[in-house]
Amino acid sequence: MIPENLVGPAAGVAASAFWVLTSIFFTAAGHKIGATAVNTLRLIFAVLFLGSTHLILYGTPVPHITNLTQWGALALSGFIGLTICDQALFSAFLDIGPRRALLLMTSSPIWALIFGTVFLSEHVNRYALLGMGITIAGIVWVVLERQQSTEPKSKHELRGFLLVMVAAISQPLGTMFSKVGMGVSWLPEDQQLSPLSATLVRMVFGLFGMVPIVLVSVQMAKRSGTTREKAHRNLGILFAAAGAFAGPFLGVWLSLVAIKFSPIGVAQTMLSLSPVMILPFVGKLYKERLNAAAILGACVAVGGVALIAFSSDLDKQTGDAPGHPAGQSTPEHRSQSKPGEVASPFGGDGGQPADLNGD
């Protein structure tokens, strides 16, 4: 059995590994059927995979949620983290190129750390902070070394930078709302939502968020007269299904496990490792040559991950650890509701007594 202090980091690393696979499949699918179709299909397939799994494990395809705060938080998480973030990031890829976009996306763990500290009252110990810094430095190193060729100057460079910053902020913001939606740290454990249930709900809301984007895309395709061959379309759908299984299904599910068991700053760092993990594939699939600097950057990132994983043990030796993964506060110190009180998901000591009669 995996020790509790390793569950969050392990789930985050595994999610990054699955996202490497999904990026490969979605890239292939995008060439066949287009980006908007892939974005939509990935959510449809993910809802089907998640709903089926939920039915097998819990006996129902629909999670049982009675708390309106959880519904609202998961809806925001799906719309912000899956609709806005992904659409902004893909558009940024087109405007400023993937290298600079991924480079700016390395700021997302910093935003996650800020959101977790300010809104969720999370504590990250000094060793985890150092590990986060080392990991981010390694990722930046890899991204810079992966493509040394000069990218053509874009006509929409400012728009691209603004879009990628929207993605870098909305991704951890969606992460924060996911944690709130699961009820972690503010609801009793028996009322908290499992990562699988939370993933299914936010995926459904993410799919709803794609509806206006799809409608606009369809209208644009009709005006331009764009059509795709049936063989290409079928192969693209197959690639999209494979990518959805690896990423929006397994990857996002594991990402919520990481979020549940770690402060969101730490989890977001673990979830940002895809540029490092894709290195073994780039030579074969994309004909890129790996240099020693990129490999060294990957080793630095791995070292940072190791430091994060064992930060709790290191902090205990100095006598400062609260005793939970990466310095996260213990359950008795978290903001959980008392009988007759309305729980507050954003820190504090619960809330005012519930007025059930509406008086």
Query: What pLDDT, in 10s, does the model give residues 270-279?
Result: 999 998 998 8
- Residue 336 in 3-state DSSP? coil
Q: What percent of the chain has pLDDT over 70?
A: 84
CA gap 100, 254 in Å, rounded: 27
Provide the angle, in degrees to the nearest 10, between the axes of the packed helices 157-182 and 98-105: 40
Taking the CA atoms of residue 71, residue 76, residue 77 and residue 83 in that order, the dihedral angle to the nearest 10 degrees is: 130
pLDDT at 282 (0 to 100) = 76
Query: What is the rounded average pLDDT of the residues 283-310?
Result: 86
Query: What is the rounded average pLDDT of the residues 25-40?
Result: 84
Q: Which of 153-157, 224-228, 294-298 is predicted least confidently?
A: 224-228
How many CB atoms sit inside 10 A of residue 349's CB?
10
CA gap 5, 7 in Å, rounded: 6
**Residue 218 in this model has a pLDDT that exceeds 80:** no
pLDDT averaged over the chain? 84
**Residue 19 in this model has a pLDDT that exceeds 50:** yes
DSSP 8-state class, residue 150:
P
Q: Alpha helices, DSSP H only, in 183-251?
A: 195-224, 230-244
pLDDT at 152 (0 to 100) = 57
Angle at the Cα of 70 from the Cα atoms of 74 and 76, rounded to 5 degrees: 30
CA gap 105, 16 in Å, rounded: 14
Query: What is the rounded average pLDDT of the residues 77-81?
Result: 96
**Residue 73 in this model has a pLDDT that exceeds 60:** yes
Residues 183 and 333: beta-carbon distance below 8 Å:
no
CA gap 295, 139 in Å, rounded: 11
CA gap 320, 177 in Å, rounded: 29
Query: What is the rounded average pLDDT of the residues 3-32?
Result: 90
Residues 273 and 117: beta-carbon distance below 8 Å:
no
Distances (CA, A) of 18 to 22, 116, 204, 330: 6, 25, 21, 30
pLDDT at 151 (0 to 100) = 53
Residues 258 and 15: beta-carbon distance below 8 Å:
yes
pLDDT at 214 (0 to 100) = 84
- Residue 18's pLDDT band, with cuts at 50, 70 and 90, is very high
Query: What is the rounded average pLDDT of the residues 124-132?
Result: 94
pLDDT at 121 (0 to 100) = 92
pLDDT at 40 (0 to 100) = 87
Each residue's pLDDT tens digit, 168-204: 999 999 999 999 999 998 999 888 999 999 999 999 9
- Residue 343's pLDDT band, with cuts at 50, 70 and 90, is low
- Residue 208's pLDDT band, with cuts at 50, 70 and 90, is very high
